[in-house]
Amino acid sequence: MKHRLSRRRFIASATVSMIPSAVAIAQPKGISLFTMGTDEQSSESQKLPKPDWKNAGVIDLSNSPHAKLKTVPVRAVVIQPGFWSQRRTTNLVASIPSMHDELLEHGRMDNYLRLKGKLSEPQKGPVYSDSDIYKWTEAVGFQLQIADEPKLRATTDAMIRDVVAVQEPNGYLNTYYNSDRKPLRMRYDTQTTGHELYCIGHLLQGAIAYYRATGDPTLLDAGIRFVDSFLIPDYGPRANQKAIVAGHPEIEMALIELSRTTGDPKYITLAGYILHGDERVPLKPEQIVYMYCGIPFTSRTKLEGHAVRAMYACCGATDYYLETGDPAYWKTLNVLWNDLTAHQLYVNGGVGARAEGEAFGDPYELPNAQAYGESCAAIGNMMWNWRMLAASGDAKFTDVIERALYNGINSGMSLDGRTYCYRNPLAFDPTGESRDGDQVDGKIRNAWYDTTCCPPNLERTFASLSGYFYSTNDDGVFVHLYDNSEMNWHLHDGTALRVQQKTNYPWDGEVKITVSPATPSDFVMYVRIPGWSTKNRVKMNGEEVAGAKPGEYLAIRRRWSKDDTIDLNFDMTTHLLKANPAVTEDRGRVAFQRGPIVFCMEDLDQSEHDGGVNLAGYTVLEDGETTAQFEPHLLDGIMVLTHPATISKTATDTTLYFQSSTPKAPASPTTVRLIPYYAWANRKPAPMQVWIPYKDA
């Protein structure tokens, strides 16, 4: 596989000679060599179900020794009518069912039925097609953790039965590497490009979410059997084992979540070995960059290569740190996070500058129209920061979570929940060239992609969203995200606790939190003060509380009783943001942000668009006053910004080159209307831009 090809243009190639499996490798520091054999393997569900199978969060950190924050179950938080409730309802009634139909229509389940002998159809879809079923199952699992949906559960149960029916006696389960492709299984060249472990990683994550929803270990047993019976006996660091390279990182975090679910530490050991890399796998430097694996994770000094791979690798490495406390991992993770936020993060929380290789670019390489910004990469960014938050309790990670969630992730799914953005650029022209089939008839949102990783990834994110609102520690409760909601959970000492939020966030900065422990108790409520909010007021039972600082958690320590209230008031002033001058495309431009929401201009909203003036003709006044008005009937109800501007002839009206002394075209006063970035491309195809030229005073 040419490393510069995107995954969506993947063509299996590159014959790499097998290296004798008996070649010895040095024992990685901190990683124990495997001693388990078939006689020591787990007996799948003997350890399942555990009495507390319902009580895990999005990831289960209840016994993770180096997690400063513990997760709260998805089912413990009910998101009530407000900003996110409509999105989640749409996810349940439109997105998950329609994606199920798309998966069937495009043969994703036919691949299993073929192996069962029920169909004679050839294999359909790319090498990673199995993962589409597993991510969809994970979305269902999180949805069923919220509330039982009998029809959805019955449908998923039937699909799971068809999946596990094709598992081979040795534990192998993959529909692509069968028949004439069977000899290619787990070859080193297949591991780098074939997504076998990527698929089984998603199977494990989907199986765990489904198990935590229903207590049914059927799919989870299959995942355990793959690891215990197929993988561990023959693959690992021992001289008599073949080496492993992840190819597309994902298996690492899945293995660690499997350890958390079963209590078996050998899966952490296996994940650590994969994160360390194995020198027996012959890799070219460009493969190591692109795949973001194959060498010790702790040797990484910057984010590079395929953006989703890098984000997933960082997730797995943070999971490994949460279980082991290895300081080398924590040091590396912070170096990489600083690189992300200083050089690589889009204002919408997206990552991945280049369509070629779906990759990170050089520092400050953040193009707008050319931006790739894959939905999966923004989700990976959120997942990584969630883990970094758990390891540290630092609100800077929550700020990135919020930026990605409200903007670069939320933009990935249409408002009706039936079409999706694979990439999320910050400027768009529907007449422009399609990149890897992203645009169909000028539309960047489509119901199906042959690489359909993003749609079910978005669905699992929205289904699990309630699990991101709160965390706990020995002192009390952390409040991360704001929306109308109710949490019913408990403190670490077992005291039952109800926390309610009432707010019109993110359109309004006022949040009322009502705290009601079952009995009066001493603990701390850590409320997040968003980094974007420069002026903040906090009241406790009507009395002012000092110390609120942007980008930090405010600790309110007291003896709490039923119906104690915290009133938060965040600064919802619209800010015009400028980029670092090194971001060449954004020089002389500003982006608009109000609260956590980033806004954009869409041609449809400009009064002059019928006159043929395109967006390039607008210049906003830097010292102009922005007005904000909520329009309930536009795009499911959004805040619309209006800002003074001028309009002049566009670049297309001038010659390619001209003398600097040429008089500027006359500019006329006007205003621009901006909508939330997440809502763009939900009407008809139209030009869009986030970064707008400005004129200073």
Q: In percent, how much of the chain has pLDDT > 90?
A: 84
Instruction: With a cut of 50, say whether residue 654 has pLDDT above it.
Output: yes
Best CA proximity match to 530, nearest among 572, 498, 585: 572
b/e map 404-417, b = 16+ CB within 10 Å = bbbbbbbbbbbbeb
- Coarse DSSP helix, strand, coil percentages of the chain, rounded to the nearest 5 percent: 40, 20, 45
Q: Which two tokens stand for residue 52?
A: 């507390």
85 neighbors 466 (Cβ within 8 angstroms): no
pLDDT band for position 439 (50/70/90)? Answer: low
What is d(CA 437, CA 305) in angstroms, rounded to the nearest whole number?
A: 21
Share the mean pLDDT of the chain.
91
Return the ∠ at Cα 560 (arms to 554 and 564), rounded to 5°: 80
450 neighbors 125 (Cβ within 8 angstroms): yes
Q: Where are the domains of the chain?
A: 7-29+54-467, 469-569, 574-695
pLDDT band for position 9 (50/70/90)? Answer: very low
HEC secondary structure over 293-362 = CCCCHHHCCCCCCEHHHHHHHHHHHHHHHHHHCCHHHHHHHHHHHHHHHHHHCCCCCCCCCECHHHECCC
Q: Is 194 helix (H, G, I), strand (E, B) or coil?
A: coil
pLDDT band for position 50 (50/70/90)? Answer: low
What are the two backbone dihedrals, phi and then psi, of residue 92, each rounded to the nearest 5 degrees? Answer: -75, -45
**pLDDT of 565-609, one tens digit each?**
999 999 999 999 999 999 999 999 999 999 999 999 999 999 765
Topology of domain 7-29+54-467 in CATH is Glycosyltransferase (1.50.10)
What are the two backbone dihedrals, phi and then psi, of residue 474, each rounded to the nearest 5 degrees? Answer: -65, -25
Q: Which two tokens stand for residue 8?
A: 């969506």
> In this structure, is the dihedral angle defined by the CA atoms of residues 11, 17, 22 and 25, taken in order, positive or negative?
negative
Instruction: Give the distance, in angstroms, between the CA of residue 600 and the centroid of all CA atoms in the same chain.
Output: 22
Instruction: With a cut of 90, say whether residue 12 has pLDDT above it.
Output: no
Mention every residue, 6+ apart, whose C-beta is less than 8 A from residue 273.
28, 31, 34, 236, 237, 244
Instruction: With a cut of 80, say whether residue 28 has pLDDT above it.
Output: no
245 neighbors 235 (Cβ within 8 angstroms): no
Residue count of the chain, please give it. 697
Topology of domain 469-569 in CATH is Immunoglobulin-like (2.60.40)
Strand-strand pairing, 627-631 and 638-647:
antiparallel
Instruction: With a cut of 60, say whether residue 21 has pLDDT above it.
Output: no
Least confident of 219-228, 391-400, 477-486, 645-654: 645-654
Instruction: With a cut of 80, say whether residue 498 has pLDDT above it.
Output: yes
Q: Which two tokens stand for residue 314?
A: 């960082």
pTM: 0.93
pLDDT band for position 13 (50/70/90)? Answer: very low
- pLDDT at residue 293, rounded to an integer: 98
Neighbours of 28 (CB within 10 A): 17
**pLDDT of 608-626, one tens digit each?**
654 555 788 899 999 999 9
Best CA proximity match to 588, nearest among 490, 507, 696: 696
What is d(CA 469, CA 482) in angstroms, rounded to the nearest whole number?
A: 7
What is d(CA 24, CA 246) in angstroms, rounded to the nearest whole number?
A: 19
Dihedral, CA of residue 17, residue 21, residue 22 and residue 23, to nearest 10 = 60
Q: Which two tokens stand for residue 457?
A: 């990834």
pLDDT band for position 40 (50/70/90)? Answer: very low
397 neighbors 389 (Cβ within 8 angstroms): yes
What is d(CA 457, CA 452) in angstroms, rounded to the nearest whole number?
A: 9
Q: Crossing angle of helices 266-276/307-324, nearest 10°?
A: 130
What is d(CA 452, CA 401) in angstroms, rounded to the nearest whole number?
A: 23
Instruction: With a cut of 70, say whether residue 413 has pLDDT above it.
Output: yes
pLDDT band for position 121 (50/70/90)? Answer: confident
Tokens 């297949």 map to which residue? Answer: 190
**Cis ω for the linkage preceding 285 (within 30 of 0):** no
Neighbours of 488 (CB within 10 A): 16
- pLDDT at residue 41, rounded to an integer: 41
Local structure of residue 444 (DSSP, 8 states): S
Instruction: Give the distance, in angstroms, between the CA of residue 553 and the centroid of all CA atoms in the same chain.
Output: 23
For residue 15, give Cα distances in angstroms to 12, 188, 189, 190. 9, 9, 6, 9
pLDDT band for position 25 (50/70/90)? Answer: very low
- pLDDT at residue 614, rounded to an integer: 78
Instruction: With a cut of 60, say whether residue 5 has pLDDT above it.
Output: no
Q: Which carries the bigger pLDDT value, residue 36 or residue 505?
A: 505
Mean pLDDT of 51-68: 92
